[in-house]
């Protein structure tokens, strides 16, 4: 069954072709860790460098070996478009190369589209960004397990074919309009950051003035049991954890908020492990994540009878006559404890650090008497309510701006708004 066109029932003002009619599609090189002969050790583009919003993130650069001929063939020049080939979270992401990347190649997680002389790579990158946001790419790849937008599939993606002048007019318009939206989003994100800092300052003040019930208390003195999960090969979409079995992802406890939707559904052919199901009141701790997020802790609120821990998460059942889970979660996010976690975390890659169970168990916990914990939590709930409300409203504005951005791109690249008069 063919995939419906991405523009639906809208009558396009242009003829329709395929991506290969705009330029040549080339898949990158398989990762090569050892050199031979005249091989050159050079930087390369990989999936992580292509962001969901169509931007390039080139601050984290890796290198591998290329032969001189490969490096000459796999160049990245101004005007190219790059498209992520595979991976659950990234396939189909696209970006425009605004400047020559001299001496770079690209890995086989990337397809390069080099437009013909009369075509504009910006138009193509915007178009592919719209396709991914509207769900076309997922449907087109017919995702069952590990998705791939292969070079052959990418070359055959249907695409409108405005003239080169029209493509440039559309891209120029979107450059201006999306820059304004991006500036607004960036300002709102900075505001959220300031609000979060203010909130943390309120919390830190209360925590540091509390008198511990027992000096030199560690996490291990407050815990009744610790459980860890498993990480089977799951489906690419989330389950509900109530009717369908699912496994939580590492980010389910990020920044002190439990996010049950951060999971992947368990395939029917795999036997679930009920012993790894999270329980209401569990303190879930991420043992593997980025430096800023490893050791994040959040309390499970509610019952999810089919939501299981991954092997990157611990679930701590606290001795509640000694410690309120929410209070311990606040302590885990305090600057003193965060500094200890970040110093203890280790790993070969900055994008995935680990902290051991023993290191978590030995973290210091300045825990007052139970009644004082509850008093402080009640006070913090009152003090942070307005801040939380403002954060939520600002985050909603950010989401609306992102939706507006995609709607604008989609309308422009499919001719629903006419911005090409006079071209």
Give a three-class secondary structure readout of 217-269.
CEHHHCEEEEEECCCCCCCCCCCCCCCCCEEECHHHHHHHCCCCCCEEECCCC
Q: What is the DSSP string of 19-82?
A: GGGTEEEEE-BPP--S--TT-EEEEEE-GGGB-TTS-B--SS-EEEEE-HHHHHHS---TT-EE
One fold for 16-160 and 212-367: yes
Q: What is the pLDDT of residues 2-13, one digit of tens each?
A: 566 666 666 778
Q: Is the pLDDT at 89 greater than 60, yes or no?
A: no
Q: Is the pLDDT at 77 greater than 70, yes or no?
A: yes
For residue 405, the model assigns a pLDDT of 96
For range 78-95, the mean pLDDT: 86
Inter-axis angle of helices 121-133 and 164-208, nearest 10 = 50
Q: What is the C-alpha end-to-end distance of the chain, expressed in Å?
A: 38
For residue 54, the model assigns a pLDDT of 86
For range 266-286, the mean pLDDT: 96
**Closest Cα partner for 52 from 108, 90, 79, 97?**
90
Number of other CB atoms surrounding residue 229 within 10 Å: 21
Residue, of 121 and 148, whose pLDDT is higher = 121
> For residue 248, what are the β-bridge partners?
263
In 68-135, alpha helices (H): 68-73, 121-133
For residue 101, the model assigns a pLDDT of 95
**Global pTM value:** 0.82
For range 29-54, the mean pLDDT: 90
**Closest Cα partner for 325 from 295, 302, 361, 300?**
300
For residue 149, the model assigns a pLDDT of 87
Q: Are the CB atoms for 134 and 6 separated by under 8 Å?
A: yes
Structure tokens given for 286: 């991420």
For residue 3, the model assigns a pLDDT of 63
The sign of the dihedral angle between the CA atoms of 256, 259, 264, 268 is positive
Q: What is the pLDDT of residues 144-159, one digit of tens each?
A: 555 788 899 999 999 9
Q: What is the pLDDT of residues 330-388, one digit of tens each?
A: 999 999 999 999 999 988 666 789 999 999 999 999 999 999 999 999 999 999 999 99
Name the maximum alpha-carbon separation found in the chain.
Answer: 78
**Closest Cα partner for 23 from 81, 99, 107?**
81
Q: How many CA atoms, within 13 angstroms, populate the side-chain half-sphere of residue 51? A: 9
Structure tokens given for 290: 């980025």
3 state SS of 114: strand
Q: Which helix (H) or strand (E) holds 115?
A: strand 110-115
How far apart are alpha carbons 91 and 179 in whole angstroms? 24
The residue written with tokens 């979660």 in the block is: 329
Q: Is the pLDDT at 74 greater than 90, yes or no?
A: yes
How far apart are alpha carbons 360 and 90 in whole angstroms? 32
Q: Which CATH superfamily is domain 212-367 in?
A: DNA methylase specificity domains (3.90.220.20)
For range 176-184, the mean pLDDT: 97
At 1, the pLDDT band (50, 70, 90 cuts) reads very low
**Closest Cα partner for 16 from 415, 422, 417, 421?**
415
For range 170-192, the mean pLDDT: 97
Q: Are the CB atoms for 71 and 42 separated by under 8 Å?
A: yes
Q: What is the pLDDT of residues 311-332, one digit of tens each?
A: 999 999 999 999 999 999 999 9
Please state, in angstroms and as integers, the Cα–Cα distance from residue 287 to each residue in 32, 217, 223, 246, 340, following that order: 30, 21, 16, 19, 14
At 212, the pLDDT band (50, 70, 90 cuts) reads very high
At 162, the pLDDT band (50, 70, 90 cuts) reads very high
Look at the domain 16-160 and name its fold. Adenine-n6-DNA-methyltransferase TaqI; Chain A, domain 2 (3.90.220)
Residue, of 365 and 33, whose pLDDT is higher = 365
Angle CA(338)–CA(327)–CA(299) in degrees, nearest 5? Answer: 85
For residue 12, the model assigns a pLDDT of 79
Question: How do the domains of the chain map onto residue ranges?
Answer: 16-160, 212-367
Angle CA(52)–CA(307)–CA(374) in degrees, nearest 5? Answer: 95
For range 81-108, the mean pLDDT: 89
3 state SS of 4: coil
Q: What is the pLDDT of residues 128-140, one digit of tens each?
A: 999 998 888 888 8
Q: Return all residues near 271 (Cβ < 8 A) that are at least 6 apart.
A: none
For residue 271, the model assigns a pLDDT of 96
For residue 36, the model assigns a pLDDT of 86
**Closest Cα partner for 104 from 54, 152, 151, 56?**
56
For residue 422, the model assigns a pLDDT of 54
> What is the pLDDT of the chain when averaged over all its residues?
92
pLDDT above 70 as % of the chain = 94
At 420, the pLDDT band (50, 70, 90 cuts) reads low
Inter-axis angle of helices 164-208 and 370-413, nearest 10 = 170
């Amino acid at each position: 069954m063919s995939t419906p066109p991405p523009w639906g029932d809208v009558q396009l003002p242009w003829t329709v072709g395929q991506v290969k009619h705009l330029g040549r599609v080339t898949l990158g090189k398989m990762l090569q860790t050892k050199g031979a002969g005249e091989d050159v050790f050079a930087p390369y583009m990989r999936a992580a460098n292509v962001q969901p919003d169509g931007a390039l993130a080139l601050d984290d650069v890796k290198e591998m070996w290329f032969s001189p001929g490969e490096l000459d063939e796999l160049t990245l020049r101004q005007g190219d478009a790059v498209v992520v080939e595979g991976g659950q979270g990234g396939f189909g992401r696209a970006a425009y190369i605004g400047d020559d990347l001299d001496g770079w190649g690209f890995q086989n997680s990337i397809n390069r589209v080099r437009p013909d002389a009369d075509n504009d790579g910006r138009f193509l990158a915007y178009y592919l960004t719209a396709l991914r946001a509207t769900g076309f790419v997922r449907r087109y790849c017919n995702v069952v397990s590990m998705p791939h937008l292969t070079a052959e599939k990418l070359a055959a993606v249907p695409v409108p074919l405005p003239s080169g002048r029209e493509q440039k007019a559309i891209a120029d318009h979107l450059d201006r309009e999306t820059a304004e939206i991006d500036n607004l989003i960036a300002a709102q994100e900075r505001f959220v950051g300031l609000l979060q800092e203010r909130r943390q300052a309120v919390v830190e003040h209360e925590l540091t003035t509390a008198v511990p019930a027992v000096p030199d208390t560690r996490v291990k003195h407050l815990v009744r049991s610790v459980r860890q999960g498993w990480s089977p090969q799951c489906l690419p979409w989330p389950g509900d954890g109530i009717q369908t079995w699912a496994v939580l992802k590492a980010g389910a406890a990020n920044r002190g908020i439990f996010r049950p939707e951060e999971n992947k559904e368990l395939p029917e052919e795999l036997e679930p492990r009920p012993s790894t199901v999270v329980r209401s009141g569990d303190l879930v701790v991420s043992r593997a994540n980025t430096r800023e997020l490893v050791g994040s802790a959040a309390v499970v609120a509610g019952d999810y009878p089919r939501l299981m821990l991954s092997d990157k998460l611990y679930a701590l059942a606290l001795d509640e006559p000694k410690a309120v889970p929410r209070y311990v979660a606040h302590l885990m996010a305090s600057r003193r404890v965060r500094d200890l976690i970040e110093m203890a975390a280790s790993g070969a890659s900055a994008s995935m650090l680990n902290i051991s169970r023993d290191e978590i168990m030995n973290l210091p916990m300045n825990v007052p008497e139970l009644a004082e914990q509850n008093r402080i939590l009640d006070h913090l709930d009152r003090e942070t309510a307005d801040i939380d409300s403002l954060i939520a409203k600002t985050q909603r504005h950010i989401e609306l701006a992102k939706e507006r951005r995609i709607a604008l791109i989609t309308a422009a690249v499919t001719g629903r708004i006419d911005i090409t008069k006079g071209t």
